[in-house]
Structure 1
Amino acid sequence: MQAVHNIAEICAQHGITDVVLSPGSRCAPLTIAFARHPGIRVRTVPDERAAAFIGLGLAQNQRRAVALVCTSGTAGLNYAPAVAEAYFQQIPLVVFTADRPPEWIDQLDGQTIRQADLYGAHAKGTFTFPADTSHADAKWHSARLVSEAINLAQQFPAGPV
C-alpha cells in the first residue's frame, strides 16, 4: 500500500496537479491515494471514455501532463480514443490502468484481458508494476517506473504513456 501512496506523491513532484479518476475496485487504492493528496485536484468521471477526453482537454489547456486512472479489464480500452488523440497531438497523459493478477489472465475470468501494451503504437511507452509488492525494493522500483513514465510523457515529442 505504501508504494501506491508514493505514486501520488511522485506525480505531484513531477508537476502533475490534475488526475481524472474512473473508479473501480481494482484501482481503489490508487484512487484513494490521489484523492487524499493535498497537491492534486481530482475529478471523478465514471464513464471512462468521457474521463479520458476530459483529461486530454485538461492537459491540452494546461500544457502539462494529466494522469488518468481506471480499473482493470475493458475499462482501459475505453481510454483508447483519447490516448490515440493525445499521441497524434503530442499531449502528455500518464495513464494508470489497474490489472488482475497475472495468473488470472487467459483463465476466462470476466474483465480479465491482456493489458500489456494495451494502446500499442499510440503510446510512447508502457510500464508494468511488479505484482509482488512485498519485496524490499518494491517501493523503489515502483517509484522509478512512475518517474520514467512521467518523464517519457513530457519528453519531446510529448504523448501518452
Structure 2
Amino acid sequence: MLSDILHAQQVLLLFKKRGVQHIVISPGSRNAPLTISFTNDSYFKCYSIVDERCASHFAMGIAQQLKQPVAVVCTSGSALLNYYPAVTEAFYSEIPLIVLSADRPPHKIDIGDGQTIRQQHVYANHILYDTHLEMINSLDDQEAMATNERLINKAINVAITNHGPVHINIPFEEPLYNTVNVPQVEPKVVDSIIETNASIPSLFLDRWEKANRKLVILSTLNPDVFTQDQLNLLTSDPTVLVMSEVSSNIRHEKIIWGGIDT
C-alpha cells in the first residue's frame, strides 16, 4: 500500500532504487502521502520522532555513522524551520542529510492559509542543493514526471557525491490519505554529473611546499579519516606542528591534543 499521489510515489521508488533506506518521520498531516508510503514498504527502516529538532539530529547521526544519505520528513509550515540547526551542522560536517518537506500547493501560499510559509529555498545559505517538485495530477503529465525524476535524482546524487544536506520541497493537495496497492509510475535512476571539490588547489600545494612553518589543526573527524602511517608522515615533518581538538577522534604521541583554544 502506498499513496495514490504520483509524485509521492516517485520519491518513494527513487529512494528505494538509490538505496536511501533510513527515514526519520516527524508528525503531521500534509506529509501523510510520504509517511503512508514509506511506512508501508518493508524495505525502509522508519523512525517516528515527535520533536522535529530531535528528529533531524537523530537522522543526521544515522547518516554520520553509516556514511549514507538519511531522509527526514516533515509537514508544511514552520515544521521545517525546526530542522535548520541540523541542516547547518550537516552542511559544515559534510553529512548527507536529505530533508523532505511537504508543502501546500503554490496557489495557497501567501493568502493566509494556515500552516503555510514560503518554504522554497528556506535553507539557502546552508544547503548544497534544494528543489521544488512539480505537482502531478495524472499519468498524462509526462513533462512534470520527467522534471521530478531529474530533480529527485540530482538531490540524491549531490547528497552522496558532495557529502552534505539537500532539500526536496514537495507540494501536496488534498485528499492526502488515499492509497493504491501498486505503484502507478516507474521512475528511472539518472546519474547526474556533479561538480566536486575533491582536488587540492595547486596554489595551496605550492604555498605548502614553500612554507617553513606549518600549523595543522584537526577538528571534528571520523575515526578512520587518517591511517597511522599518514599521521606518522605528517608529524615527522619538522616544519609541521599538528594540534588536535578533542572531537577529532585522533590520538598520536606527537600531536598536541585538547584545550588548544587557550
- The 8 Å contact of residues 96 and 165 in structure 2, kept in 1 or not, is answered as yes
SS at match of 1:43: strand
**Alignment map for 1:12-161 (pairs within 5 Å):** 12-134=16-138, 135-156=141-162, 158-161=163-166
**Structure 1 range deviating more: 3-12 or 114-123:** 3-12
State the Cα RMSD in Å: 1.3
Distance 1:155 1:136, change over 3 A: same
SS at match of 1:137: helix
- Structure 2 unmatched ranges of 5 or more: 167-262
Q: Distance in 1 between matches of 2:112 and 2:11?
A: 31
TM-score of the two chains, using structure 1 as the length reference: 0.93
Q: Distance in 1 between matches of 2:40 and 2:68?
A: 21
Distance 1:137 1:154, change over 3 A: same
Bigger fraction of residues in helix: 1
- The 8 Å contact of residues 34 and 42 in structure 1, kept in 2 or not, is answered as yes
- The 8 Å contact of residues 133 and 139 in structure 1, kept in 2 or not, is answered as no
- The 8 Å contact of residues 55 and 67 in structure 1, kept in 2 or not, is answered as yes
Shift of 1:142: 2.1
Shift of 1:86: 0.3
Q: Distance in 2 between matches of 1:18 and 1:8?
A: 12
Shift of 1:65: 0.4
Q: Distance in 1 between matches of 2:97 and 2:156?
A: 8
TM-score of the two chains, using structure 2 as the length reference: 0.59
Matched, 1:8 2:9: no
Shift of 1:146: 1.3
- The 8 Å contact of residues 3 and 143 in structure 1, kept in 2 or not, is answered as no
Shift of 1:132: 4.2
Shift of 1:3: 2.8
SS at match of 1:67: strand
Distance 1:92 1:76, change over 3 A: same
Relative contact order, higher structure (CA 8 A, sep 6+) = 1
Larger Rg: 2
Q: Distance in 1 between matches of 2:25 and 2:46?
A: 7
Superposed CA offset, 1:109-151 (max 9, x none): 2221001101111110111011343323333332222111000
Q: Distance in 2 between matches of 1:72 and 1:61?
A: 28
